[in-house]
Amino acid sequence: MSYIWETTRIEEIMRAGLIRDLGKSQGEGRFGAYTTARKYLLENVLDEIKKLQPQLTDHGPRHIQNVLKNVHELVADVIAKRKGAEKKRPGLGGRALNGVELYVLGASALFHDVGNIFDRKEHQRQVSKIYDLVKPSSGGHQDREEKKIIVDICQAHCGKALDGSQNTLRFVDERSKLDGQEVRPQLLAAVLRFADELAEGEQRTSHYMIQQHNYSHDSILFHQYADCSNVDIDRQGGRIRLTFHISLACEGEGGTRDGSIIPITGLEELLKFIYRRIEKLNQERQYARHYCPLLGQFKETSASFNFWYRERQVPLDLSAVVLSDLVVPGDPLKTVIQSDSRYDPSAVISELSQAMKKIKSET
């Protein structure tokens, strides 16, 4: 089968960078290898994951597009656009990404989730099986080096490291060389891991399937989270902005914990899940910055909540919660609730209940 793929901006920049750094013939050849791999994965692997793992949020072509879009938004202003731009510039923590690094980053985005075709558990360690089918080695050391770089980056995007910890980026090489160009696998792995963490939103799930209660109870919270979340990579503002839109129902009005409209009495479980995801994303932001100075501009994570009842926004006295890198000596690390006690689920639900009763009386 054929799959219609809309070329992403980062892929356009990748192609131009490869031609600039390697020359037209070699650069086009390297980009051709990328598009050949992409075509195979789109037509034979990525779309099949949903069929084999129907309870998962999307790991197919839409997810890959989203990850590549996030990569571009994360590193758009630290990409070498002309000869000499790779030199060290103030505030970047090193040189900008060259064309070969963009190729490695793009290829890693294509391959990072293919292991789900076998099983969700330890899927990051199954990448090489698909890689060998898509890009069989000719036996040259450059082919082997490319495979090592890409597979290592993919393995580091989640799961546990070799020492049993979750510090996967520690075990990715800091430097390598491909096509005569310096490559920084560890730095690229940090970008991919964070871009993947940010790849949430309604494109990862099916609103219809949620409405019809066709996801298992074990997976529904992940789908509800995707369905209600919006991610804004605000590089200029130095933050990740999360916005959540949650539709509610009063008790007895037909809402269900496993559906797209949540009964007010069942909201606590979803709120706690969202809070944990916000805290995890904030940790991933800090973790990525440690290994990738190019992401140093992102210094905080903010989250805003919007609640809806009968198509009207429920007025709520909640400002955005902010988790930042500002550390006051002696203060403990804060959770969402510790950052703003008004986010305690019982307090939120109580205020919502009163506001919804008022809306109900007016309609």
Residue 213 has pLDDT above 90, yes or no: no
Mean pLDDT of the chain: 91
pTM for the model stands at: 0.93
Q: Would you state the structure tokens that stand for residue 39, as one six-digit string?
A: 């075509």
Q: What is the pLDDT of residue 238?
A: 95
3-state secondary structure 29-56: HHHHHHHHHHHHHHHHHHHHHHHHCCCC
Q: What is the average per-residue pLDDT within 305-328?
A: 91
Digit-coded pLDDT (tens) for 322-362:
999 977 776 777 899 999 999 999 999 999 999 999 999 98
**DSSP symbol at 61:** H
C-alpha radius of gyration, the chain, whole number: 22
Percent above pLDDT 90 for the chain: 75
Digit-coded pLDDT (tens) for 73-128:
999 888 866 555 444 444 445 689 999 999 999 999 999 999 999 988 888 888 99
For the chain, helix (H) and strand (E) counts, in that order, are 13, 8
Digit-coded pLDDT (tens) for 37-62:
999 999 999 999 999 888 989 899 99
Q: What is the average per-residue pLDDT within 275-291?
A: 96
What lies within 8 Å, CB to CB, of 327 at 6+ separation is none
Q: Which helix (H) or strand (E) holds 305?
A: strand 300-309
Residue 68 has pLDDT above 90, yes or no: yes
Q: What is the pLDDT of residue 329?
A: 74
**Backbone dihedral angles phi then psi of residue 87, each to the nearest 5 degrees:** -70, 155
Digit-coded pLDDT (tens) for 260-282:
899 999 999 999 999 999 999 99
Considering only residues 211 and 25, tell me which one the structure prediction assigns the higher pLDDT: 25
Q: What is the pLDDT of residue 132?
A: 93
Q: What is the pLDDT of residue 125?
A: 86
CB 328 within 8 A of CB 339: no
* Distant-in-sequence contacts of 262-265, Cβ < 8 A, 24+ apart: 262/224, 264/349, 264/352, 264/353, 264/356
Tell me, rounded to whole angstroms, the distance of Cα 249 from its chain centroid.
30
Q: Work out whether the CA dihedral 41, 223, 161, 68 comes out positive or negative.
A: positive
